[in-house]
A and B are shown apart, each in its own frame.
Chain A
Amino acid sequence: MPETTFLDSNELLINMGPQHPATHGVLRVKLKLDGEKVVGSECIIGYLHRGVEKIAENRTYAQFAPYVDRTDYVAAVTNGMGYCEAVEKLLGVELPPRAQYTRMILAELQRIASHLLWLGTHALDLGAMTPVFYTFREREEILKIFENYCGARLTTHAFRIGGLQYDLYDGFEKDARKFCDYFLPKIDEYEELLTTNRIWMDRTKGVGVLSKEDAIALGTTGPVLRGSGVNWDVRKAQPYEAYDKVDFEVPTGQQGDTYDRYVVRIQEMRQSVRIVRQSVERLGPGPIMGKVGKVIKPPVAEVYHSIEAPKGELGYFVVSDGTTNPYRVRVRPPSFVNLQAFDLMVRGHLIADVVAIIGTIDIVLGEVDR
């Protein structure tokens, strides 16, 4: 037998994206294939780079706040929360409880909305068409609450440095409670569609395995880290707002595969509902702004503050030179850092699994590229 025949495939280099529906934006992936097997990959990013960090240096602290909504544009509320908290930490401002709980409610609703978007598109990528219709239906309810609260659905700019600009509208508590009651059974419905679905399990179990050690070494956070079995959540480890006062659990996986990350996110939605419910109970009357001057002029110093965004640890490193403009704002994007694990996760898998692995990291290119 000859060593090779014409049927043997040599390594083939193919290009996926940036215009590809399964890359969730403008991610371009170069794949090196041996037959259908991926032997190497390289992510090419930057197609959506807008220089957000440079813009920050040319705006005042308050002016820059709307820009952060445009980084992870499917989770604008948590972006704004991270930035506002970072500046508040720099200033040393403490928020009144009403503002804290309002922020937590909106941030947890945003986490649910982000996970719903992820779940629908991830399932769609893998050929399960049904969930996307349901998840968008539920997401719509959350966006309606956002719209009623601040007038915007996506790029909300919901918070201000020092608290909130708007107090809650009449009936917000009722809407939030109603959503929780409505939404919990829906999670069961998604699980019915997917969790024990044979095709779903075949497509996700054992795909894109990331070990605990690799997950830590590569700096992954959020559901990617927790899916690999590391019980770590910024909300628990270094609580901000009033997360230390509410009761919730941090779901983790064991195998670190796509299926585990799916389960982690599904469970996180349940926990978010718990947090929303408790926070609504504790929403007392009171002021919604801490003591912040009209002109925000922090001391000459620098702080790093991070929150648990839907995608992972979202950090802001803010350097002040004592003027009204930040000297430097660094956004530590969870998507960017998590995406670095893609190469390790994809090696040895089939080309059909590439979309599963891109989906399971849950990237938003606006945040990867900034």
Chain B
Amino acid sequence: MTDEPKVPPEGSGAPGKPADQAEGGPSKPAAPMPTEPAATETPAKPGAPGQGAEGPGKPAPVAPPAAVAAGPPKAAAPPSKPAAPAKPAPPAPKPVVKPEPWSSPLVDELRKRFPGAVGDALMFRSQPSIVVAKEALIAIGEFLKSEAGGAYTFLTDETAVDYPKRAQRFEVIYQLYSFKLNHRLRLKVLLGEGESVPSVAGVWPTANWLEREVFDMFGVQYEGHPDLRRILLPEEWVGHPLRKDYDILKQDDAWVEANLHIKSGQ
């Protein structure tokens, strides 16, 4: 709070380059900044690698792909010295902070072994993510788990994100970790409504409950899952609450009435 007003070059008035909050807040909190038009949707799809939307001097906040170290990379910020509290006169256009294409030997190897099954590979805040086709998911998982693929023996988390406006509305997300490389890797599978994705519980047994939760919350169907039932909600519940079209006040009124003997709780 104290050092709020010493953010020199923010200048929320830069046309077209609103510099979304990478560091330093806008000095005038009232004015909502216009969102950058190109990046309204789809964080996973930044278009061609050489897209020209990058500002001068490559956005520094994104660390080079090789760096695996954790911790937020240095922000390309002005030094935090209490610079003269003069009004920020020249609003330098800031580079738009967004995920960058990730090229690494692993991606090349995957593309070579699984032609056509590996989509965008992106890097943001030194966190790589790769989009893979669901048909090849198990094979890619087995490969990544093997020594040759980097020994990603640890499935930290599996979850999903719902983008109802996209053709393939679900992104199923796998957070992998390799003890050998001390490296995290994010796999993504894009999935349309009504499609099913192969269960990775055979590759990483921890996926069992995690996939049950994704099924419970999003209604994503898993093929070959050993025990695909709801895990958090009651088994008879109708609806999948973490879908975007499930309103926050919505409930399964019939279930509530039948089991709790009250009208809907809201």
Chain A: residues with CB nearer than 8 A to chain B?
A: 45-46, 49, 51, 53-55, 57-58, 88-94, 96, 165, 216-219, 230, 232, 237-240, 287-304, 306, 313, 315, 317, 319-323, 327-328, 330, 332, 336-337, 340, 369-370
Chain B: residues with CB nearer than 8 A to chain A?
A: 1-4, 7, 20-26, 29, 32-33, 35-36, 39-41, 43, 61, 69-75, 77, 80, 96-99, 124-125, 127, 129, 153-157, 159, 161-162, 173, 175, 179, 182, 184, 186, 204-206, 208-210, 213, 217, 230-234, 241-242, 244, 246, 248
* Contact in complex: A294, B25 (CB < 8 Å): yes
* Contact in complex: B33, A297 (CB < 8 Å): yes
Q: Which residues of A contact B61 (CB under 8 A)?
A: 92
Q: Which residues of A contact B20 (CB under 8 A)?
A: 297-300, 322
Q: Which residues of A contact B161 (CB under 8 A)?
A: 302, 319, 327-328
Q: Which residues of A contact B1 (CB under 8 A)?
A: 165, 289
- Interface-central residue, B26, B97, B246, by most chain A CB under 10 Å: B97
B52 nearest CB across to chain A (Å): 18
Choice from B69, B70, B242 contacting A53 with Cβ under 8 Å:
B242
* Contact in complex: A92, B97 (CB < 8 Å): yes
Residue of B nearest to A49 (CB): B232
Q: How far is the CA of A240 from the CA of B96 in the complex (A)?
A: 25
Q: How far is the CA of A92 from the CA of B20 in the complex (A)?
A: 11
Check A94/B74 contact, CB under 8 A, given A293-B24, A301-B97: yes
Q: Which residues of A contact B129 (CB under 8 A)?
A: 302
Q: Which residues of A contact B241 (CB under 8 A)?
A: 51, 54
* Contact in complex: B125, A322 (CB < 8 Å): no
* Contact in complex: B173, A369 (CB < 8 Å): no
* Contact in complex: B72, A88 (CB < 8 Å): yes
* Contact in complex: B70, A92 (CB < 8 Å): no
Residue of B nearest to A231 (CB): B179
A287 nearest CB across to chain B (Å): 5
Q: How far is the CA of A18 from the CA of B43 in the complex (A)?
A: 42
* Contact in complex: B153, A91 (CB < 8 Å): no
Q: How far is the CA of A23 from the CA of B154 in the complex (A)?
A: 28
A-B pairs, top 8 by smallest CB distance, nearest first, are: A293-B25, A219-B206, A238-B70, A294-B29, A46-B232, A299-B97, A332-B157, A291-B24
Q: Which residues of A contact B29 (CB under 8 A)?
A: 293-295
Q: How far is the CA of A58 from the CA of B154 in the complex (A)?
A: 32
* Contact in complex: B72, A94 (CB < 8 Å): yes
* Contact in complex: B182, A237 (CB < 8 Å): yes
Q: How far is the CA of A292 from the CA of B97 in the complex (A)?
A: 15
* Contact in complex: B97, A304 (CB < 8 Å): no
Q: Which residues of B contact A323 (CB under 8 A)?
A: 35
Residue of B nearest to A42 (CB): B227
* Contact in complex: A337, B206 (CB < 8 Å): yes
Q: How far is the CA of A295 from the CA of B96 in the complex (A)?
A: 17
B256 nearest CB across to chain A (Å): 14
Q: How far is the CA of A303 from the CA of B162 in the complex (A)?
A: 16
- Interface-central residue, A91, A240, A291, A301, by most chain B CB under 10 Å: A291
* Contact in complex: B231, A217 (CB < 8 Å): no
Q: List 23 A-B contacts (CB under 8 A).
A: A45-B232, A46-B232, A54-B241, A54-B248, A91-B21, A93-B72, A219-B155, A219-B204, A219-B206, A292-B25, A293-B21, A298-B20, A299-B98, A304-B186, A313-B156, A315-B156, A321-B40, A321-B41, A322-B20, A323-B35, A332-B175, A340-B208, A340-B209
Q: Which residues of A contact B69 (CB under 8 A)?
A: 238
Q: Which residues of B contact A295 (CB under 8 A)?
A: 21, 25-26, 29, 32
Choice from A93, A304, A330 contacting B127 with Cβ under 8 Å:
A304
A160 nearest CB across to chain B (Å): 9
* Contact in complex: A219, B242 (CB < 8 Å): no
A338 nearest CB across to chain B (Å): 10
Q: How far is the CA of A216 from the CA of B175 in the complex (A)?
A: 14
Q: Which residues of B contact A217 (CB under 8 A)?
A: 153, 204-206
Q: How far is the CA of A93 from the CA of B125 in the complex (A)?
A: 11
Q: How far is the CA of A360 from the CA of B265 in the complex (A)?
A: 36
Q: How far is the CA of A239 from the CA of B72 in the complex (A)?
A: 11
* Contact in complex: A340, B206 (CB < 8 Å): yes
- Interface-central residue, B26, B153, B205, B234, by most chain A CB under 10 Å: B205
* Contact in complex: A291, B72 (CB < 8 Å): no
* Contact in complex: B182, A315 (CB < 8 Å): no
Q: How far is the CA of A88 from the CA of B208 in the complex (A)?
A: 31
- Interface-central residue, B124, B184, B241, by most chain A CB under 10 Å: B124
6 further A-B contacts with Cβ under 8 Å, apart from A219-B154, A230-B179, are A55-B248, A293-B21, A294-B29, A298-B20, A301-B98, A320-B43
Q: Which residues of B contact A94 (CB under 8 A)?
A: 72, 74-75, 77
Q: How far is the CA of A364 from the CA of B39 in the complex (A)?
A: 39
* Contact in complex: A322, B232 (CB < 8 Å): no
Q: How far is the CA of A49 from the CA of B251 in the complex (A)?
A: 13
B242 nearest CB across to chain A (Å): 6
Q: Which residues of B contact A45 (CB under 8 A)?
A: 231-232
- Interface-central residue, A45, A51, A165, by most chain B CB under 10 Å: A51
B68 nearest CB across to chain A (Å): 9
Choice from B72, B80, B98, B231 contacting A300 with Cβ under 8 Å:
B98
Choice from B2, B124, B155, B159 contacting A303 with Cβ under 8 Å:
B124
Choice from B77, B155, B159, B248 contacting A330 with Cβ under 8 Å:
B159
Q: Which residues of A contact B205 (CB under 8 A)?
A: 217-219
A291 nearest CB across to chain B (Å): 4
Q: Which residues of A contact B159 (CB under 8 A)?
A: 317, 330, 332
Q: Which residues of A contact B33 (CB under 8 A)?
A: 297
Residue of B nearest to A89 (CB): B72
* Contact in complex: B21, A298 (CB < 8 Å): yes
Residue of B nearest to A313 (CB): B156
Q: How far is the CA of A57 from the CA of B184 in the complex (A)?
A: 25
